[in-house]
Amino acid sequence: MLIPAGDITHGGLSLNETPAWLEAKKVIEAESGYQIVQWHRDELSEELKKFVESNAIRYPTIVSRGAGGNLSEVMTNSELAACKGDAQSVISRLREKGIVQQKAPSSSSSL
């Protein structure tokens, strides 16, 4: 999963990721099986630049590479804006879309 850095990841212009985003990344990776890679616009690979341009995608965005290697936009800039900088909201929206799936708590039975 490719995520350009922004308010959700760095809290604006900070060089450091927010604690909330660090925790959210762990949850997203654990629940989705995706490895998160974050890029600023000037760091995008040529492949990703072409995908963004040819699909008229606006930043920030979340893009995923599927099993077949195809890229797809997972969350639009307006969906991310609706999260208002809240990393937990991103997780919730990804769960709603079925991208990540919250694991059920394990039940332990005692005899």
Per-residue pLDDT of 3-35, as tens digits, reads 655 778 888 777 889 999 999 999 999 999 899
Classified as helix, coil or strand, 14 is coil
The rounded distance, in Å, linking the Cα atoms of 53 and 46 is 10
Classified as helix, coil or strand, 2 is strand
Output the pLDDT for position 28: 94
Question: What backbone torsions phi and psi does residue 37 show, to the nearest 5 degrees?
Answer: -125, 125
Nearest to 3 by CA among 65, 55, 69: 65
What is the mean predicted confidence (pLDDT) over 52-65? 94
Residue-wise pLDDT for 82-93, tens only, equals: 998 899 999 999
